[in-house]
Chains A and B, each alone.
Chain A
């Protein structure tokens, strides 16, 4: 039974594969507009994709779990809680615009509830679920 399923799945699996997926690329800049240099920064997104470290020249690239057509908010954050945002970035082939995230000290994130951590949704095998009434 399993063998049959596996055999049937070969063309299906092949058809499901696509080439390189979409990415989120850009640069994190200081409030004065210049790229950050040698700063310890993380960039992550909402909905969650991946959390990556910003390179010494201020650039970043997220390639895991990025979905075409999805609208993202990108967040850059340093260890002191200084943050920057880009909202409503839509991933599509036409959108070649580089993402520029301005760090801002206007938002005090020292008490931010996640304190720099973002919960990333990820596959966990067979998983669990609950059937419930909807309120």
Chain B
């Protein structure tokens, strides 16, 4: 469901997702002086052709293959690099570096014909050897990249350039729509001296060279990244001559920067700021279906949390709708399983577990968690149940902090003591994903279109750094996930996800919370503002600012 704030900013109403918000005007000169950011706007206003956008976190690398769990790097790489194919507005696979392709042998072979005349940003010709190099580098065990990336290509038997612009790929088995395996970005072989190894220390990671719409120009002292249009791009020169990515870790300053036009684009507007931004009348606010979901994850290495009744009790004890309404102004939807409601994997027949404190208490009692000494905390095997909830600490995480504090209070009502443990974000991720040093974690998964939850819940994925950091182990779920990953039938995959959704709702390894509505805000002078929900900038070459608006 998509909602927008009404024109008075006093409530919400349902709208069609194509509608944009345009209301009112806000005087901003005072604010400008306060934050000292109006100057850059004035400097740009005479000939406004560039787009400055801001990110809350810095990219971990500029190399699209070594980046790990970093949205900033993912988005930036979409402007600089390209893949053989991409998914267009209508969900169809289209060629990018590949001009066309043919599938043979019952989906066991694919032959790509690459576009001729493509050049890397340094002027070197792109060829089929770059495709092979990138594959070899990904599969090289010495390469320092997320295992997921390698896993996705394990089905490839061999890859062989047949000429400068033709490459043949054989699979170990039949692959449904094999062209979709080639959404990964291609790297220039000549900048790695022919050695197919990707290191996190490589010079390339700081000075990326791609074939995409924009060339990396430089990183400033303030960690801004300046990109300039690739005039030689085979689709023609992008219509926006320059993009600047500005690192701004303070979310309040970021909003003010936008309101004062010191930046032009905010990728994810905090729900509580939408009305303020809309009321300026200067921005297009675009809701988009980002496939995310938020959750509390329970560590199965803790014997208390291994009890299904306890996990279920914790879910029943949470008034999720009220939390969503109070903290995020209802801008989202409470969910019942591990997908966004906009995903093809979401099972609409499974309702979220209701808020029911009595049921929660009864479940705890059934599991043997009873407050024998009447101190307000239940005991299990004679010990009070005290759990640690890990939270990342950074500006802009006020919503997350409120959710965790509400969680703490709700748990207190059923006699479970929850201690909040704050960590700097890198440390937080390390303690959760690598060390598994937590009892409960509040986090979010952001998916592309694949709705593939294999790594989240398959028991083989629970090692250090794996996505199954809660160490979940359910043979039935493992079996379904294994079939999911091998079947070529999309309808079967959908049915499997529906069944997984039902099982995981009943087993509650996570308390599934909600999918929040995402909104981007951009200077309304920018037209044809089409975004891709995961990579965001896929269609940025089509964005433009009409001459009369510059």
Contacts and interface: CB of A to CB of B under 8 A. Distances in A.
Nearest to B181: A125
Which of A13, A68, A119 has the most C-beta atoms of chain B within 10 angstroms of its own C-beta? A119
A124 B529 contact: no
B81 interface: no
B284 A130 contact: no
Interface in B232-257: none
Contacts of A5: 479, 482-483, 486
Contact of A132 (B446, B448, B527): B446
Interface stretch (B4-12, B13-21, B134-142): B13-21
B490 A123 contact: yes
Contact of B348 (A13, A17, A69, A124): A69
Interface string B488-504: 01111101100100000
Given A47-B289, A113-B18, A123-B449, A131 B532 contact: no
B294 interface: yes
B17 A46 contact: yes
B450 A124 contact: yes
B35 interface: no
Interface residues of B, number: 88
A16 B502 CA distance: 13
A128 B450 contact: yes
B534 A128 contact: yes
Interface of A: 2, 5-6, 8-9, 12-13, 16-18, 46-48, 51, 65, 67-71, 73, 75, 83, 85, 87-88, 107, 109, 111-115, 117-135
B16 A124 contact: no
B270 A129 contact: no
A118 to B, nearest CB: 7
Given A12-B480, A131-B443, 5 more contacts: A73-B17, A121-B342, A125-B452, A130-B445, A134-B294
A12 B479 contact: yes
B287 to A, nearest CB: 9
A131 B486 contact: no
A135 B270 contact: yes
Contacts of B396: 135
A125 B270 contact: no
Contact of A111 (B16, B342, B348, B527): B527
Contacts of B533: 119, 121
A121 B291 contact: yes
B403 to A, nearest CB: 7
Contacts of B16: 46, 73, 75, 83, 85, 87, 107
A134 B394 CA distance: 11
Contacts of B1: 71
Contact of B152 (A70, A117, A126): A126
A125 B176 contact: yes
B467 A131 contact: yes
Contacts of B531: 119
Q: Considering the complex of A and B, which 3 residue pairs feature the smallest CB-CB distances, nearest first?
A: A127-B450, A120-B91, A16-B495
A122 B344 contact: yes
Interface string B441-483: 0111111111110010000000000010000000000011011
Given A13-B489, A46-B2, A87-B14, A133 B428 contact: yes
A12 B483 contact: yes
Given A111-B527, A120-B90, A121-B344, A131 B490 contact: no
A124 B530 contact: no
A133 B483 CA distance: 30
Interface of B: 1-2, 14, 16-20, 69-71, 74, 87, 89-91, 148, 151-152, 175-177, 180-181, 183, 270, 284, 286, 288-289, 291, 294, 341-344, 346, 348-349, 392, 394, 396-400, 403, 425, 428-429, 433, 442-452, 455, 467, 479-480, 482-483, 485-487, 489-493, 495-496, 499, 513, 527-534
A114 to B, nearest CB: 6
A118 B90 contact: yes
B18 A119 contact: no
A86 to B, nearest CB: 10
Contact of B289 (A8, A69, A119): A119
B499 A16 contact: yes
A131 B496 CA distance: 23
Nearest to A14: B492
Contacts of B445: 129-132
A113 B284 contact: yes
Contacts of A8: 479, 483
8 contacts: A12-B479, A112-B18, A117-B90, A124-B87, A127-B448, A130-B446, A131-B69, A134-B403
A12 B445 CA distance: 28
Contacts of A87: 14, 16
Q: Which of A117, A120, A127 has the most CB of B within 10 A?
A: A127
Contact of A133 (B397, B479, B529): B397
Most A CB atoms within 10 A — which of B480, B483, B485? B483
Contacts of A111: 20, 527
A88 B445 CA distance: 27
